């Protein structure tokens, strides 16, 4: 995809229809100028009945279409596995009617006569935050601080039912050759080597960790929201066990993100339903990212070249913005150059909210496609 230096989302007059696809319901919407322009339209997903499911998707988009007076494109996130560039949805766990593959994108293009663009929710979340969320906020703060440092790449991850991710490189959404880029859930679990990281970075992972710490049957464990309230002291319960469960999530996530940052080198933004519990896991996450390796001679080596900073902690954010800038004279001349010796990344929580960032990413992706097809 060609890179647009400035998408100017908030002044674009085109309308794009969107969809938030869940296992039990589909929520349809529309954006114009980067803002929602109609109340959500909700339909049951009928995940076990393909005919009813597809009829509901068409009816939901049709109602949104008629309320808006048409649209330039349809763009939305849908669970994978999928061949996203060709609009083919594969074998879904929560929507088993799609098993065997369903060309959802081509079907909708035939019905509505406009481009239909489908992506992974982690990708669109990262894109929205890169365009109008954490990435521009950090760069603006660096400018105010007088730092020469600027960031152009963003790793977006979501902690919720599962562990998802997306990557934006120099203003472009990175999808990979198989539309499988940033499938971070498949990274190895920090504490259980035979498991993928999603087993620890998810709702089920937090509930399992709490059950083990508190000696409870997993079925008796409260919801993650209640666990967070217990951990924050807002609700009675075994607070130490709740804190330990979220700290475990932080360690597993920190390990995964350290590997991602080592390869991709950018800022990190976290969204998803568990992101609201950040006070309980973010410190452990950043500490794990900065935990050193020990070589054979017993010497410590940095886990990754960029040092990680918690952007939700005022002191850490101030150090991140300051960097370590020196003025170096250019030999044989009367001028100097700035040299920031501190290679770093910042880890922060979604500035837009996960749903809004994902919808904005879908909107921007459609505009970019329309302008550069």
- pLDDT, tens digit, for every residue of 303-320? 899 999 999 999 999 999
Q: What is the mean pLDDT of the chain?
A: 93
What domains lie within the chain, and their CATH numbers? 9-119+362-372 (3.30.420.40), 134-351 (3.30.420.40)
- pLDDT, tens digit, for every residue of 324-352? 999 999 999 999 998 999 999 999 999 99
- pLDDT, tens digit, for every residue of 73-132? 999 999 888 999 999 999 988 889 999 999 999 999 999 999 999 999 999 999 999 999
Confidence band, pLDDT 50/70/90 cuts, at residue 35? very high
- pLDDT, tens digit, for every residue of 143-194? 999 999 999 999 999 999 899 999 999 999 999 998 888 999 999 999 898 9
Integer-rounded Cα Rg, in Å, for the chain is 22
Tokens 């991602």 label which residue?
260
* End-to-end C-alpha distance for the chain, whole angstroms: 8
């Amino acid at each position: 995809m060609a890179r647009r230096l400035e998408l100017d989302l908030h002044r674009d007059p085109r309308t794009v229809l969107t969809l938030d696809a869940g296992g039990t319901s589909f929520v349809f919407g529309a954006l114009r100028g980067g803002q929602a322009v109609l109340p959500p339209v909700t339909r049951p997903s009928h995940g076990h009945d393909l005919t009813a499911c597809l009829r509901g998707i068409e009816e939901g988009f049709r109602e949104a279409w008629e309320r808006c007076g048409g649209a330039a494109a349809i763009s939305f996130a849908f669970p994978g596995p999928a061949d996203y560039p060709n609009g083919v949805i594969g074998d879904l766990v929560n929507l088993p009617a799609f098993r065997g593959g369903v060309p959802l994108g081509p079907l909708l293009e035939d019905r509505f006569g406009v481009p239909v663009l489908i992506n992974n929710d982690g990708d669109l979340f990262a894109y929205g935050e890169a365009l109008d969320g954490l990435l521009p906020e950090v760069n603006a703060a660096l400018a105010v601080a007088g730092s020469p440092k600027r960031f152009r790449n963003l790793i977006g991850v979501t902690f919720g039912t599962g562990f998802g991710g997306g990557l934006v490189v120099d203003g472009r959404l990175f999808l990979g050759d198989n539309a499988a880029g940033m499938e971070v859930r498949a990274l190895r679990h920090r504490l259980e080597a035979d498991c993928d990281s999603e087993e620890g970075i998810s709702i089920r992972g937090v509930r399992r960790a709490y059950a083990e710490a508190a000696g409870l049957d997993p079925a008796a464990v409260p919801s993650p929201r209640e666990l967070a309230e217990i951990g924050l002291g807002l609700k009675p319960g075994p607070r130490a066990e709740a804190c330990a469960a979220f700290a475990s999530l932080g360690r597993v996530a920190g390990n995964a993100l350290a590997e991602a940052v080592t390869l991709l080198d950018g800022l990190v933004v976290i969204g998803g339903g568990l992101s609201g519990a950040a006070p309980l896991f973010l410190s452990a996450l950043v500490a794990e990212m900065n935990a050193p390796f020990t070589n054979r001679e017993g010497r410590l080596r940095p886990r990754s070249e960029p040092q990680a900073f918690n952007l939700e902690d005022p002191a850490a954010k101030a150090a991140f913005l300051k960097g370590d800038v020196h003025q170096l004279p250019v030999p044989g001349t009367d001028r100097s150059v700035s040299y920031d010796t501190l290679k770093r990344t910042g880890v922060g929580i979604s500035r837009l909210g996960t749903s809004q960032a994902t919808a904005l990413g879908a909107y921007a992706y459609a505009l970019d496609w329309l302008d550069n097809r």
